[in-house]
A and B are shown apart, each in its own frame.
Chain A
């Protein structure tokens, strides 16, 4: 395997790992804010790393350029969407989860 191929595999594995972390966070964390936190950060990183692996693997001008565009816009829009969701939740008066309501809703 060439160094580039190792890099592709490493990026894809890292991306899958962070995607798994994001999924775990969405399942296990208690309320909308913490879930948005898990989804926005690790999900963005996972998706960007995976797309980066694809961009490396394609290695042909236009497809790589498209993948890089996708990567850039994911980095831009994913956190903004999470921000919008958190803002809307705050707007609706959803209280952030604290240690006090440990036994409260899931």
Chain B
């Protein structure tokens, strides 16, 4: 694509690839851990989302930005962001439909117990998806440089 004509094509490093391969699953687990613990301890969707997005950046550093861009379709990133917004909005507005305030999780007690806990976790997951995908999208846009023609990247 656009970076291919630049001098000094990216050569993979065994050290970085091995480390990333070992560390990436742990980082993704840690991101989910942070997201789920946002309700009762430091952390939350924003921090966890950034960590989840950094997994993709790590992969890009190890395997080359262009190959990561081809591996991770832009539509996936955009869908993740849109899905996060939809999750947040539907949970928030659902309580209004049930007759409460915006994000008044206790309205869901009719369907399941510990409703506010699950509500908060779902909203954190949604925020995490938004933050992760926006971070990934911004990273790809920045990595593309100034000479890049913005074609279908309407994300971020």
Question: A-side interface residues toward B, CB under 8 Å?
Answer: 73, 76-77, 80, 83-84, 87, 91-93
Say yes or no: A80 contacts B8, CB within 8 Å: no
User: What are the residues of chain A within 8 A of B13 when measuring CB–CB?
Assistant: 83-84, 87
In the assembled complex, how far is the CB of residue A96 from the closest CB belonging to chain B, in whole angstroms?
17
Q: Which 9 A-B pairs have the closest CB atoms?
A: A80-B19, A84-B16, A83-B15, A91-B8, A87-B13, A80-B16, A76-B19, A77-B23, A84-B61
Say yes or no: A76 contacts B22, CB within 8 Å: yes
Count A-B pairs with CB separation below 8 Å. Answer: 22
Say yes or no: A77 contacts B8, CB within 8 Å: no
B contacts with A: majority SS: helix
Nearest A residue to B13 via CB reads: A87
Say yes or no: B8 contacts A73, CB within 8 Å: no
In the assembled complex, how far is the CB of residue B16 from the closest CB belonging to chain A, in whole angstroms?
5
Say yes or no: A73 contacts B26, CB within 8 Å: yes
Question: How distant is the Cα of A83 from the Cα of B61 in the complex, in angstroms?
Answer: 12
The residues in B between 1 and 30 inclusive whose CB is less than 8 angstroms from any CB of A are 8, 10, 13, 15-16, 19, 22-23, 26
